[in-house]
A and B are shown apart, each in its own frame.
Chain A
Amino acid sequence: MEMAVANHRERSSDSMNRHLDSSGKYVRYTAEQVEALERVYAECPKPSSLRRQQLIRECSILANIEPKQIKVWFQNRRCRDKQRKEASRLQSVNRKLSAMNKLLMEENDRLQKQVSQLVCENGYMKQQLTTVVNDPSCESVVTTPQHSLRDANSPAGLLSIAEETLAEFLSKATGTAVDWVQMPGMKPGPDSVGIFAISQRCNGVAARACGLVSLEPMKIAEILKDRPSWFRDCRSLEVFTMFPAGNGGTIELVYMQTYAPTTLAPARDFWTLRYTTSLDNGSFVVCERSLSGSGAGPNAASASQFVRAEMLSSGYLIRPCDGGGSIIHIVDHLNLEAWSVPDVLRPLYESSKVVAQKMTISALRYIRQLAQESNGEVVYGLGRQPAVLRTFSQRLSRGFNDAVNGFGDDGWSTMHCDGAEDIIVAINSTKHLNNISNSLSFLGGVLCAKASMLLQNVPPAVLIRFLREHRSEWADFNVDAYSAATLKAGSFAYPGMRPTRFTGSQIIMPLGHTIEHEEMLEVVRLEGHSLAQEDAFMSRDVHLLQICTGIDENAVGACSELIFAPINEMFPDDAPLVPSGFRVIPVDAKTGDVQDLLTANHRTLDLTSSLEVGPSPENASGNSFSSSSSRCILTIAFQFPFENNLQENVAGMACQYVRSVISSVQRVAMAISPSGISPSLGSKLSPGSPEAVTLAQWISQSYSHHLGSELLTIDSLGSDDSVLKLLWDHQDAILCCSLKPQPVFMFANQAGLDMLETTLVALQDITLEKIFDESGRKAICSDFAKLMQQGFACLPSGICVSTMGRHVSYEQAVAWKVFAASEENNNNLHCLAFSFVNWSFV
């Protein structure tokens, strides 16, 4: 046996030296020959025939080999490389899936135990309730929660708070203390960073993440505790006291300040106890909870700018994973005191999705990023280290947050602009800026004009993407040139505003991006063209360092930002940055009952999903409903460096400029908002909305009209909603696609989404032909005429492909025309519907 194995192994390793030639015989290569070929392969995996001939000529040891064989060798070599790559990819996917599998099994185990324990407990209590209660042993069952007042000043009191925090955190991280539901729009799969959940009904807002990272637990704990490094909204974190907890753990008292996302409400701060310890099973835990009492921060003046928010037991559980790496559980549970903010903003402070995006998911993403960098898997542009580029992004983001918040202890003071404006103008003297960079000492200071406003019906990602790609639509080149020149002025005399014309050309050069492309760092070059003769040889280009975040439309609750700062063309690592920019934050809709019901039952639904729907009588009433479902807050803050004597001028210019930018952005917003063009086309539609109910009716009515049988079995004379519900829960995959030359999907029921392995949002990027393979497409084509004439077509069993590339077999597919049953026109063709019967993954 042993022998056979060894023998086999030798053969397989030998296979690289032997190749089948055209006549079907093996060609043997010597070790030297292989080495020579490998050397060439390393340089050029696909040499031209010329190169191959040259190789035979130059390399004497290859002289006896036919050119054709050499060609075959390279073909085989490339093939082997490809196979190897594929194998390693599959291996890594497999590792991830296995780890997730293990995790889920454990959770399953825990839940089962919990259920059985609860059943047992409840049974006991029921029994107790029916028996005579005089029995004193009853009292032991009733455990009253202990709310004893502990002294938060004594170590013993703090230790007991720490232990309680730990228990609470663990029950949230791995148990059922919070009613977790899967984060909408984030389907777990081999490519996702982790499993994310949010809470919808707990006290405050909460989010949870679970993921696998190839770093040591200790290292991860260290990174996560350094919150300012990954939590962009963290302004500062200060550890006040630190003492050992006796069991090897440490207790810290922490004061943290966070930035406000808009100019409309004050920022939040936290006074917490943080407990770091390890568990018996080798896991690390960092858990944290707010302490009552004032526990004021550094000084009263600084603290007065904040509203104290509460952190409920939150933290990180990091478990070492066999085979290296760790499994991380993150829980963030906050109460952001939503009552204290204006009504419009309240949903923002009550949204678990926002916390999930800002804290939970970004923590996990950051760790993943560092892990990838340490493995050397990340390639960055222009020869900069990832860490340097990250510092740039952090500084841009921080500078923008500082401008939006304008904290007094940073040196900001509010200054007034003419007239009653929504625009706030604040000014910061140089002294404080000197801390940022010495090269700015010549400046009189920095002035900031900022405002926050509500936008309706504009997808934040689309707006920011537009602003990024079409800078000339809203920006004034001369203002950019002015800011750039003022910052540069340290090295030579202030050049003033030379007559320069913007050529209109904007070049975006990418520097780097995060692993999931949710943040991109880039340099924007605006080509200037000097109008003055003597400057003909001087470059008038303006360079901006820019970050763009959240332009993925499918990220739920994510805010989108475009932040830029003028930078010198060499962009040195310590370049002074005075960032300006936009932030657009989606505001959750107040969901209707139907929506609540549907989202509770089907977590893959997304409230912001939009469908294209033709004119329908319901639209008039539906619009008010759907328009409220898409609102966002735009915050804009522009900073302008100025020289001492120019403060007044710059203030006037800033105000005017920001006002013009705002009106440009509003114009853009109007143009890209779906209802801006035509209220009947592409209006927002969520599965609980009247439009979806109508569509469901049309689908089922058209089906019975064409096929003479019912698609849905409605047992009672149900309401309109129940048709949608029945359709949604139908076991067959029912899909609708548009009638364009290139049909695109617009709706699918749960089975349809499952079959295509997608979400309602992503569905709308999928074309009909994408889901069929070659033969399926042919079948559709041949039956298409029949479908258009007869109104329906039955396709035989076949194979289609999910978005993840998996093959799906179905017993039968029915396609039919869906008519809009409008009163004026009875034959208004609306879309095509497909029903895949008895489908399964192959």
Chain B
Amino acid sequence: MERLNSKLFVENCYIMKENERLRKKAELLNQENQQLLFQLKQKLSKTKNSNNGSNNDNKSSSASGQS
């Protein structure tokens, strides 16, 4: 039992370290994720702006139609 317990303890320590590592990794990935999201949004709004005129017309006409 003693042996089993110390094995469990070591294992727990190991998993804890591993979790720490994963958490770090997740954090980094999350940062990257946010960055990519931001870039995507920027790119999107650029394309939107270029199509601006036609898009706006569509929206306003549909809105007035509903009301």
Binding site for B on A (CB under 8 A): 87, 90-91, 93-94, 97-98, 100-101, 104-105, 107-108, 111-112, 114-115, 118-119, 121-122, 125-126, 128-129, 133-134, 138-139, 141-142, 176, 179-180, 182, 188-190, 195, 806, 841
Contacts and interface: CB of A to CB of B under 8 A. Distances in A.
A134 B47 contact: yes
B39 interface: yes
Interface string B1-25: 1101110111111011011101101
A104 B26 contact: no
Contacts, number: 95
B43 A190 contact: no
Closest 6 CB pairs of A and B: A118-B29, A111-B22, A97-B8, A125-B36, A104-B15, A90-B1
B52 interface: no
A379 to B, nearest CB: 26
Contact of B26 (A100, A111, A182): A111
Contacts of B15: 101, 104-105, 108
By secondary structure, the B interface counts as helix
Interface residues on B, range: 20 to 34
Contacts of B30: 118, 176
A222 B53 CA distance: 59
Contacts of A126: 36
B22 A129 contact: no
Contacts of B41: 142
Given A111-B22, A176-B23, A129 B40 contact: yes
Interface of B: 1-2, 4-6, 8-13, 15-16, 18-20, 22-23, 25-27, 29-30, 32-33, 36-37, 39-41, 43-44, 46-47
B18 A108 contact: yes
A94 B4 contact: yes
Contacts of A112: 22
Given A108-B19, A138-B44, A101 B5 contact: no
B27 A189 contact: no
A141 B44 CA distance: 11
A133 B47 contact: yes
Given A87-B1, A97-B9, A105-B15, 11 more contacts: A90-B1, A93-B5, A94-B8, A101-B8, A104-B12, A112-B22, A118-B30, A119-B29, A122-B32, A128-B40, A133-B40
A366 B24 CA distance: 32
Contact of B8 (A98, A125, A141): A98
A112 B32 CA distance: 17
Contacts of A108: 15, 18-19, 22
A114 B19 contact: no
A142 B37 CA distance: 7
A333 B62 CA distance: 45
Given A90-B1, A111-B19, A176 B11 contact: no
A134 B32 CA distance: 23
22 contacts: A94-B4, A97-B5, A97-B9, A101-B8, A104-B19, A108-B18, A108-B19, A112-B22, A114-B26, A115-B25, A118-B26, A119-B29, A121-B33, A122-B36, A125-B33, A129-B43, A139-B44, A142-B37, A176-B30, A195-B16, A806-B6, A841-B10
A180 to B, nearest CB: 7
A46 B1 CA distance: 28
A129 B39 contact: yes
A202 to B, nearest CB: 12
Nearest to B46: A133
A141 B39 CA distance: 12
A107 B6 CA distance: 21
Contact of A129 (B5, B23, B36): B36
B19 A118 contact: no
B19 A94 contact: no
Contacts of B33: 118, 121-122, 125
Contacts of A101: 8, 11-12, 15
A438 B3 CA distance: 61
Contact of A111 (B5, B6, B23): B23
B29 A115 contact: yes
Contacts of A91: 1
Contacts of A87: 1
Nearest to A91: B1
Nearest to B18: A108
B36 to A, nearest CB: 4
A176 B1 contact: no
A118 B20 CA distance: 17
Contacts of A121: 33
A133 B43 contact: yes
A125 B37 contact: yes
A97 B12 contact: yes
Contacts of A138: 40, 44
A462 to B, nearest CB: 31
Contacts of B6: 806, 841
A105 B37 CA distance: 31
B18 to A, nearest CB: 6
Contacts of A188: 12-13, 16
Contacts of B9: 97, 189-190
B54 to A, nearest CB: 13
Contacts of B32: 118, 122
Contacts of A118: 26, 29-30, 32-33
A560 B10 CA distance: 33
Contacts of A141: 40
A101 B16 CA distance: 9
B1 to A, nearest CB: 4
A141 B19 CA distance: 28
Nearest to B7: A97
A100 B5 contact: no
A142 B8 contact: no
A106 to B, nearest CB: 10
Nearest to B16: A104
Q: Which of B26, B33, B47 has the most CB of A within 10 A?
A: B26
Nearest to A97: B8
A334 to B, nearest CB: 22
A804 B9 CA distance: 11
A606 B47 CA distance: 52
B37 to A, nearest CB: 7
A108 B29 CA distance: 16
Contact of A90 (B5, B20, B27): B5
A97 B25 CA distance: 26
A93 B1 CA distance: 10
Contact of B29 (A105, A122, A142): A122
Given A114-B26, A122-B33, A125-B37, A90 B47 contact: no
Nearest to B15: A104
A94 B5 CA distance: 6
B40 A90 contact: no
Contacts of A119: 29
A750 B36 CA distance: 37
Contacts of B18: 108
Given A94-B5, A125-B36, A126-B36, A176 B26 contact: yes
A191 B37 CA distance: 45
Contacts of B43: 129, 133
